[in-house]
Amino acid sequence: MSQAPVLRLFDTMRREKVAVRAPERGRPLTLYVCGPTVYGRAHIGNARPAVVFDTLFRLLRQLHGAGQIVYARNFTDIDDKIMARAVAENVAPEVIARRYEALYRADMAALGCLEPTHTPRATEHVAGPHGMIAMIEALVARGVAYVAKGHVLFETARFPAYGQLSRRNLDEMVAGARVEVAPYKRSPTDFVLWKPSLPDQPGWESPWGRGRPGWHIECSAMIRAVLGTETIDIHGGGLDLIFPHHENEIAQSCCAHDGAPLARIWMHNGFVQMGKTKMSKSLGNIVTPAELLEAGWPGEAIRLALLSAHYRQPLVWTDRLLSQAKAQLDRLYRRSSSGSAGVPAALLDDLNTPEAISALPDGADVLGLLQQDPAEWRHLGIDAEAVSADLERYRAARAARDWPAADAIRDRLRADGILLEVGRDGSVSWRRA
């Protein structure tokens, strides 16, 4: 049996491309991607990692077989933003979390994303033998975490390699956007593992009182619980997660697991920008997949637009980008009856999707494109019954040689984005413009 081609990915830790190991008997490849905090609708920037790592998931399955890849993408369903929205709507936090989890699943499915092997929720892994409380207990017992003012904090000074992923010095880390300076910390870079909950807030009983986990410990515990190993093959997420989230994951996981590295390869996708500015909910410069889908844009066009730049580079989102993606798919569907399951060589070189796209339809299945029936794509978003009635009138006008009437029907349909095509045998068909 021939060996699968070697896939090389850029490792953020080593700052170079490294080979992905081949699966072994009893040791499938493991991939974990930080998923959404479910308090609102996902925007295009949130969709980029979902589409990028879905493409990687598809590629790995194509190379090694579906049963040899285990992919987990979590839901953060306990968070201050979720609780704030629940208060605003006068509902329980889990109502908010489940609503936006379901919408996220639907939006990503519309963009052609496969369901990951595991989709753990943070709230399901607070307790248990590999849960967050157990991991925090281990960190306290090993002297790398301490209790202060009802909080449990990781002491970064106890982990000499802290900062290795982001390559930041202490001053840069203290100035980091998500580092909270609090009087009960021994160092400003120490981060919360556990915090107290008010009586009206969600909470779990623990050795440190009723409370809830910090954000960073959630992913470390879920990785160990659902992927069943201390060191996974690939850990992915957005560029903004390198510090402090992934830096903190590394510190707590290594210390909890006798120095075992958390991941062999760290992958990070670039930002989606609106002009020169990063897309973010806080800035209000967002566009959501849901809005685009409701406006009639096909999910595959949105996906192609998201894959049009290399995943490590910024992607500037414009209406023109989306129109170009849609036009390219129209051309491909006109000349292609289906996708192709081959693996373009470009994808083996750090998931080079722009180059792979230039080879379409080769590799379309791995890219998650050309998955529609070509005939259905031609008619996508059009009221087929109404067009059929116009088509009959057009045929009748042609048969009667009433060319002005036929031309009027043709021109009106064209104005509505519908093109009529007359075959050499006189047959008439239609497609979207």
240-299: pLDDT as tens digits: 999 999 999 999 999 999 999 999 999 999 999 987 777 777 777 889 999 999 999 999
What distance in Å separates the CA atoms of residue 225 and residue 187, rounded to the nearest whole number? 30
Q: What is the pLDDT of residue 201?
A: 94
119: left (phi over 0), alpha (psi -120 to 50) or beta: beta
Cβ–Cβ < 8 Å for 256, 220 = yes
Peptide bond into 49 cis (omega under 30): no
Q: Which two tokens stand for residue 194?
A: 């556990």
Q: What is the pLDDT of residue 426?
A: 80
Q: What is the pLDDT of residue 195?
A: 97
- Residue the block writes with tokens 């006008």: 397
- The identity of residue 50, as a single letter, is A
Tell me how many degrees the CA angle 55-61-65 measures, rounded to the nearest 5: 175
Q: Which two tokens stand for residue 246?
A: 């992934």
- The identity of residue 3, as a single letter, is Q
- The identity of residue 240, as a single letter, is D
Q: What's the pTM value of the predicted model, to 2 decimals?
A: 0.89
What distance in Å separates the CA atoms of residue 300 and residue 321, rounded to the nearest whole number? 13
Q: CB under 8 Å to 75, separation ≥6 — which residues? A: 35, 36, 38, 97, 101, 104, 119, 120, 121, 122
What distance in Å separates the CA atoms of residue 130 and residue 228, rounded to the nearest whole number? 9
Q: How far is CA 250 from the centre of its chain?
A: 21
* Range 85-106 average pLDDT: 98
Give ranges for CATH 3.40.50.620 in the chain. 8-272
Q: Length of the chain in residues, anyone?
A: 433
State how far the alpha carbon of 254 is from the alpha carbons of 159, 161, 225, 247, in Å. Answer: 9, 10, 15, 11
Among the ranges given (54-68, 134-148, 174-188), the one the predictor scored with the smallest mean pLDDT: 174-188
Cβ–Cβ < 8 Å for 244, 273 = no
CA quadruple 7, 12, 17, 19: dihedral sign: negative
Statement: residue 390 has pLDDT above 70 = yes
Helix (H, G, I), strand (E, B) or coil at 274: strand
Statement: residue 177 has pLDDT above 50 = no
Among the ranges given (172-181, 204-213, 220-229, 394-403), the one the predictor scored with the smallest mean pLDDT: 172-181
Cβ–Cβ < 8 Å for 191, 243 = no
21-80: pLDDT as tens digits: 999 998 999 999 999 999 999 999 999 999 999 999 999 999 999 999 999 999 999 999
State how far the alpha carbon of 106 is from the alpha carbons of 52, 299, 377, in Å. Answer: 17, 11, 20
CATH code of domain 8-272: 3.40.50.620
Largest CA distance in the chain: 91
Q: What is the pLDDT of residue 2?
A: 66
Q: What is the pLDDT of residue 417?
A: 76
Statement: residue 178 has pLDDT above 60 = no
- The identity of residue 304, as a single letter, is L
Terminal Cα distance for the chain, rounded: 47
**Phi, psi dihedral angles at 17 (to 5 degrees):** -80, 135
Q: Of the candidates 29, 15, 90, which has an alpha carbon nearest to the alpha carbon of residue 266?
A: 15
Q: What is the pLDDT of residue 326?
A: 95
Measured torsion, CA atoms of residues 338, 342, 345, 351, in degrees rounded to the nearest 10: 70
